[in-house]
Homo-oligomer: A and B are copies of this chain.
């Protein structure tokens, strides 16, 4: 591939992006797609947008870019929570570090690569891209110290930027905790592994235990119940009824009709789905005689409420009894964040589940090499035909061959890649986390490892299953392999950034799947817009993507600096696009409190270390003793820096500090807010419904202990 081909490819992609973004700027102004492009705003404000027809709606405009650019960090914090801010900080950090890297590498390293060998340079646009990589520098060159110096500049800037980011995000997290209104989760502890006493109700066991050992701070508790079969049957029946009812209401509902969309193609008002307008809730008098609550199974878990935040944190930190599998305490997740389906999982199962899903993820990661190998085989169709006889039936026409070898592989690969985030999310669900944010974080890690392994390493180590497996067993050879292969694959990574990076941003902003789904739902199934369908931000797919581009940037920076300008465009565009998406599209029903930053930090440090190891390999191949010798201290400094950050900042993301909580408690007590907070606690977890909403059964018994209400309210999942 030569430079002009790359620039052509870049041009095509710029054109495509412009087209996509223009399309977006038109579609977003159509009232039919309000729920696709303004889902978050609609669920929050219930605004009625003007439905009048005007020409302006069909003219592309950059107004959304201006809006997205103008957002302040405080606005993003209030709109998307701390997670959104942290996510955007990845872009800010990447823009900063890759600006420095681009400056250093384009003006320092690139000329040295280009003039690295005594050769006749042709016209620059016809030059092969190899000429711009370190592969063009001759062995034993005196100029390799420039690469080493560039590596120093990049590493030192990255470390200092990472340090200030970590520091500022830690501060932001603390301010967020201190500044936010009282949260029920701060007063609540999730207790698991409650032992069952014979002849004593579970509620009494819990009350007795906490009154005895935490009497001065115990406020009440709430048992978690699992629905029995009969209950499941009834709730399913209710759900089916509700769906049918919803169809029927939609069929009669004409408010969503717009001037443009009510064309014949989408169907008019349809009466084909008319049902008898009965009311389940009114007719169920005969069901009342069945005592549903007797069919509930009490799980050995409960939410226990404390009078102060400090008491809750103490109860969650201290080992309760000398049997570590009983009375296991943890700070509860926020009510919106609770993943109700996993609350019934017995605590003693968790470690087995964790190991099993870890193994399953690893197996999945390696099994994925099979489609990759198959797809790589398709590109060499002739070879495949020799090997596999059933392929001989494929007609030998030019367009078939082009289709099979040129287009099909990437389609198949992309289809397989689409299965990864849902599979990892499934594994993370089976792992048994009790909160949605932890589930997403766990899926994020899995997808991240998968991406780095299958996109970076598999491509660099050039493909086939056997090559890689044999490499794992010879770790010593890995740096040399990487050093040889990364510059060679740099061209591929550049096109990867252009094609997949830029395009993924355009399709993210266009939300093509969401548009299709929305259209199908609205005009074929004739459902009303449902605010509960507004998605939450898919951090588990987006963060790994962004971090992968960071990894590509670091590893290619001194080897093939041409990638850096394209990356800068990606990060800048991404910064705008995701600000827009956070503001308009995704709902923020739960927040992990920026807990993804340590992952981002560690991945970036990993990228730096990998870059240094590859550089070490390259300097070794190029026989530059001095550069190799200078890289080793850099490696050690980077690892020490990582350890320093782990000691200084990580505990803030793991634990909450006594000082802050005590201060907050005292504030609330002095202002007299405490009684109201306590009152709200009992309803915070009790009346919250998991999607689909659970029927709340069981009588609301209230008894008083020390003048405080102690409510054994039961929540059913």
Question: Chain B residues near A69 (CB, 8 Å)?
Answer: none
| Cα–Cα, bound, A652→B325 (Å) | 11
Question: Chain B residues near A477 (CB, 8 Å)?
Answer: 473
CB under 8 Å from chain B, chain A span 615-656: 640, 643-644, 647-652, 655-656
Q: Which of B313, B314, B325 contacts A647 (CB 8 A)?
A: B325
Interface string of A651-691 (1 = CB under 8 A from B): 11001111110100000000000000000000000000000
| Cα–Cα, bound, A475→B314 (Å) | 45
Q: Is A318 an interface residue (CB 8 A)?
A: yes
Q: Are B640 and A324 in contact (CB under 8 A)?
A: no
A657, chain B: closest CB distance, angstroms? 4
Q: Which of B319, B649, B650, B662 contacts A651 (CB 8 A)?
A: B319
A342, chain B: closest CB distance, angstroms? 18
Q: Are A659 and B475 in contact (CB under 8 A)?
A: no
Q: Which of B174, B314, B324, B658 contacts A652 (CB 8 A)?
A: B324
Chain A: interface residue count, which band?
35 or more
Given A355-B643, A473-B476, A314–B318 Cβ distance below 8 Å? yes
Q: Is A294 an interface residue (CB 8 A)?
A: no
Q: Which of B213, B324, B352, B474 contacts A662 (CB 8 A)?
A: B213
Q: Are A647 and B351 in contact (CB under 8 A)?
A: yes
Closest Cβ neighbor of A212 among chain B residues: B662
Q: Is A48 an interface residue (CB 8 A)?
A: no
| Cα–Cα, bound, A373→B104 (Å) | 48
Q: Is A317 an interface residue (CB 8 A)?
A: yes
Q: Is A320 an interface residue (CB 8 A)?
A: yes
Given A473-B475, A475-B473, A320–B647 Cβ distance below 8 Å? no
Given A314-B318, A473-B476, A657-B319, A325–B643 Cβ distance below 8 Å? no
Q: Are A319 and B658 in contact (CB under 8 A)?
A: yes
CB under 8 Å from chain B, chain A span 316-336: 317-322, 324-325
Q: Are A659 and B314 in contact (CB under 8 A)?
A: no
Q: Are B473 and A355 in contact (CB under 8 A)?
A: no
Given A325-B648, A640-B355, A643-B355, A320–B473 Cβ distance below 8 Å? no
Question: Chain B residues near A656 (CB, 8 Å)?
Answer: 319
Q: Which of B322, B351, B648 contacts A644 (CB 8 A)?
A: B351
A481, chain B: closest CB distance, angstroms? 13
Question: Chain B residues near A644 (CB, 8 Å)?
Answer: 351
A316, chain B: closest CB distance, angstroms? 9
Question: Chain B residues near A640 (CB, 8 Å)?
Answer: 352, 355
| Cα–Cα, bound, A654→B322 (Å) | 11
How many copies of the polypeptide does the oligomer hold? 2
Question: Chain B residues near A655 (CB, 8 Å)?
Answer: 318-319
Question: Chain B residues near A352 (CB, 8 Å)?
Answer: 640
| Cα–Cα, bound, A650→B648 (Å) | 27
Q: Are B658 and A320 in contact (CB under 8 A)?
A: yes
Question: Chain B residues near A659 (CB, 8 Å)?
Answer: 213, 320-322
A550, chain B: closest CB distance, angstroms? 26
CB under 8 Å from chain B, chain A span 162-188: 170, 174
CB under 8 Å from chain B, chain A span 115-158: none
Q: Are A647 and B324 in contact (CB under 8 A)?
A: yes
A441, chain B: closest CB distance, angstroms? 20
| Cα–Cα, bound, A647→B328 (Å) | 12
Given A319-B657, A658-B320, A643–B351 Cβ distance below 8 Å? yes
Question: Chain B residues near A322 (CB, 8 Å)?
Answer: 170, 174, 652, 657, 659-660
Interface string of A456-493 (1 = CB under 8 A from B): 00000000000000000111110000000000000000
Q: Which of B475, B647, B658 contacts A475 (CB 8 A)?
A: B475
A680, chain B: closest CB distance, angstroms? 25
A654, chain B: closest CB distance, angstroms? 8
Q: Which residue, of A318, A643, A650, A651, has the highest number of chain B Cβ atoms within 10 A? A: A318
CB under 8 Å from chain B, chain A span 235-269: none
Question: Chain B residues near A174 (CB, 8 Å)?
Answer: 322
Closest Cβ neighbor of A646 among chain B residues: B351
Given A170-B322, A324-B648, 14 more pairs with CB closer than 8 A:
A174-B322, A314-B314, A317-B317, A318-B655, A319-B655, A319-B656, A320-B657, A321-B657, A322-B660, A324-B649, A324-B652, A351-B647, A355-B643, A473-B477
Footprint of B on A, CB under 8 Å? 170, 174, 213, 313-314, 317-322, 324-325, 351-352, 355, 473-477, 640, 643-644, 647-652, 655-660, 662
A-B contact list, 22 entries, CB within 8 Å: A213-B658, A213-B662, A319-B655, A319-B656, A319-B658, A320-B658, A320-B659, A321-B657, A321-B660, A322-B659, A324-B647, A324-B650, A325-B647, A325-B648, A351-B643, A352-B640, A355-B640, A355-B643, A473-B476, A474-B474, A474-B476, A475-B475
